[in-house]
Chain A
Amino acid sequence: MENSYLDMELLRFTTAGSVDDGKSTLIGRLLHDSKSIFEDQLDHVEASSKKRGLEHTDLALLTDGLKDEREQGITIDVAYRYFATPKRKFIIADTPGHIQYTRNMVTGASTANLALILIDARKGLVEQTYRHSFIASLLQIPHIIVCVNKMDLVDYSEEAFEKIKADYEDFAAKLDVKDIRFIPISALNGDNVVNRSDKTDWYEGPTLLYTLETIHIGSDFNHIDCRFPVQTVIRPKTDEYHDYRGYAGRVSGGVFKKGDDIMVLPSGFTSRVKSIETMDGEVEEAFAPMSVTVTLEDEIDISRGDMLVRPNNQPQATQDLDVMLCWFNQEGPQIRKKYTVLHSSNEVKVMIKQIHYRLDINTLHRQENYQNLGMNDILKVTIRSTKPLLVDAYRKNRLTGSLILIDDSTNETVAAGMITG
């Protein structure tokens, strides 16, 4: 049996939006047309819609799973949806678009390869468009697809589409995203979503689904700078594996090969890769995001939190970090207060030394006079840690360039940070 399922890639994308911009309709259509909605789910949603006195079947009820969300008719949290076509499997992180949910958008964006941004063809760029795009840029999502939606309501006008495209390209000059594409669609009627529309002859590009299926994501991970954070040490201590000492972890960057010279940080000892192993046998090379076990030629004292790198390409070891923080908690950041930072497989105490500015997420303006910092604020800060962290700039590596801040009294994750230098 030929099984194409075993040869599919995974694409994670994020969407954000409000009730009326057609986001739910679009997701509903992608799920429906890829046969990822089941009959009993649809029955449930239809029954719930009726119970709420709605005229249409509200596909948002598919994703809004919590009692409060269903009662209030809003998405509170990030909802993950799954669908697959014969070419790819997709994970949608569906987030609410309102400014008070910036933290959810940031969360959804952190693992995404691609951001889907919806613009109403009648309205053009609005505040949410800027906000979602800035977040995509800030979180370094490699690809953006701008869907100009509701084309049916502007008579499928090429002019309307081109105007929005030009406006967005103007604005996008400020962004740090390399790959931006534009597609005219009608989520409601299905134009250019799965099937090409016969009403947009002037549009020669591919449909949304085709783009999602074929966009090149192979280089979204860093395959240049070798980084292997050690998660745990494997020591079976059985007769067969008496002296076995393997370093378990997930490659964060670069390509590791058997025989490679490596350096262990922070100790600085050097050795060579003896083998890269999995339960299925040895592999010749390991790259992000593979989980493997590495053994070395020499016996070196290595534990969780250490990192294997190449001697000629090391991350920065520093106690002073410039970080762009997204604040998640009601209680705002406090200068000199101690927090715990989780970075890669490391854990350290830090304090916030300085808050440089707050970023206006709608305009990207830096506000140096601010009051009442709190939830959903984006801040540029300098933090000081009790011991050096092994970091890369977030632009270079999303895995070794990111961290979270934890409040020691509540244990809550109060902020997520992207290292700028």
Chain B
Amino acid sequence: MAKYNLTHLQELESEAIFVIREVFAQFEKPGILFSGGKDSIVVTHLARKAFWPSKIPFPLVHIDTGHNFPETIQFRDDLANEIGAELVTPLVQDSIDKGRVREETGKDASRNWLQITTLLDAIEEHQFDALMGGARRDEEKARAKERFFSHRDDFGQWDPKNQRPELWNIFNGKKHYGEHFRVFPISNWTEMDVWQYILLEGIKIPSLYIAHEREVIWRNNSWLPNSEFLNLREGEEVVNKKVRFRTLGDITITGGIESDADTLEKIVVEVAAARQTERGNRADDKRSETAMEDRKKEGYF
């Protein structure tokens, strides 16, 4: 008798494709929250697979803080062009100019919180009723409690204690006017799964993930990339190092690690041996013990 077994990556892929197709079937105006990071790249790849030979029926929505790695923006534009996807890029700078938010000041200022307002305004303006993201449950303790279909109220807020139970493969996307959903098709993937899948599928990723020479400074236990937004503090100096980034956020808050992993195969080996979580170098998570939960309740990704 034939063996009817899937490998775990095939099963995760199949689950994600099922979820993405449910989003298309249950919602009027869905989109993909695209950060240029590997997880949203994988979600975009899965969306292509879900609807092939049609083009992906979702726009890529990138909340642009202005504090980008130049490589990320180039990658985003190339990808959208290649797969024929519409690109929606709300600017945090616009929210600041309109007086919707105020730029943070002080020594660890970032535009991380400000994105929330820009994102929620964009949802209203474009009438998005479901946005898919690449968040995974293994990333962070608050994200471990996320549903695949995660309800947001009229204010874009997440109520973690009052979430709808999710059973089998039945997803309840019912909502009132003004409410929306965040959907996480790769909830059950780990960092290792994502890398192995990228390797297996030959998915293109930004060069930032691969070890490269870069100007960096040592701050908060990681190598922060030098950029026009960075003000050197006393005792800090710009040095050249071979680094790579395990996650990609704003250039102002994403620290790199020293690495010689300059191929996907070497990255996989490095990830397998890693003793720190990938978000360990993200300044945005370090603000408090519940930084992620607090941001998510307000409407963060």
Contact = CB atoms under 8 A, between A and B. Distances in A.
Interface string B286-297: 000110010000
Contacts of B190: 82, 84, 89
Contacts of A80: 137, 144, 187-188
B141 A65 contact: yes
Contacts of B169: 111, 250, 289, 399
B167 A416 contact: yes
B145 A231 contact: no
B7 A403 contact: no
Interface in A84-134: 84, 88-89, 91, 103-104, 106-107, 110-111
B69 interface: no
Contacts of B126: none
A277 B17 CA distance: 13
Given A65-B142, A232-B24, A278-B49, A91 B4 contact: no
A198 interface: no
B7 A39 contact: no
A234 to B, nearest CB: 5
Interface SS of chain A: mixed
A9 interface: yes
A328 interface: yes
Contacts of B75: none
Nearest to A235: B54
A48 B289 contact: yes
Question: For chain A, which range describes its interface: under 10, 10 to 19, 20 to 34, or 35 or more residues?
Answer: 35 or more
Interface centre among B5, B268, B274, B293 (most CB of A within 10 A): B5
B218 interface: no
Contact of A402 (B9, B164, B168, B276): B168
Given A10-B12, A82-B190, A38 B293 contact: no
Interface in B25-76: 25, 48-55
A171 interface: no
A290 B192 contact: no
B196 A5 contact: yes
B14 A7 contact: no
A234 B49 CA distance: 12
Interface stretch (A17-25, A351-359, A405-413): A405-413
B170 A218 contact: no
Contacts of B145: 65-66, 77-79
Contacts of B107: none
Contacts of B192: 5, 84
Contact of A411 (B137, B144, B172): B172
A188 interface: no
B21 A289 contact: no
A41 interface: yes
B141 A10 contact: no
A179 to B, nearest CB: 17
A289 B14 contact: yes
A291 interface: yes
Nearest to B144: A65
Interface centre among A44, A65, A80 (most CB of B within 10 A): A65
Contacts of B166: 107, 413
B18 interface: yes
B100 interface: no
A63 B144 contact: yes
A66 B277 contact: no
A38 B175 contact: no
Interface of B: 2-15, 17-18, 21-22, 24-25, 48-55, 137-138, 140-145, 160-161, 163-172, 174-176, 187-188, 190, 192-193, 196, 200, 265, 268, 274-277, 280, 289-290, 293
18 contacts: A5-B192, A8-B8, A39-B275, A65-B142, A65-B145, A66-B142, A77-B163, A88-B8, A104-B165, A107-B167, A221-B4, A255-B2, A279-B48, A279-B52, A290-B10, A399-B168, A404-B172, A411-B174
The 3 closest A-B pairs by CB, nearest first: A65-B141, A10-B8, A411-B174
Given A38-B276, A76-B161, A218-B4, 10 more contacts: A5-B268, A38-B274, A66-B293, A80-B137, A104-B165, A231-B25, A288-B4, A289-B18, A404-B167, A411-B172
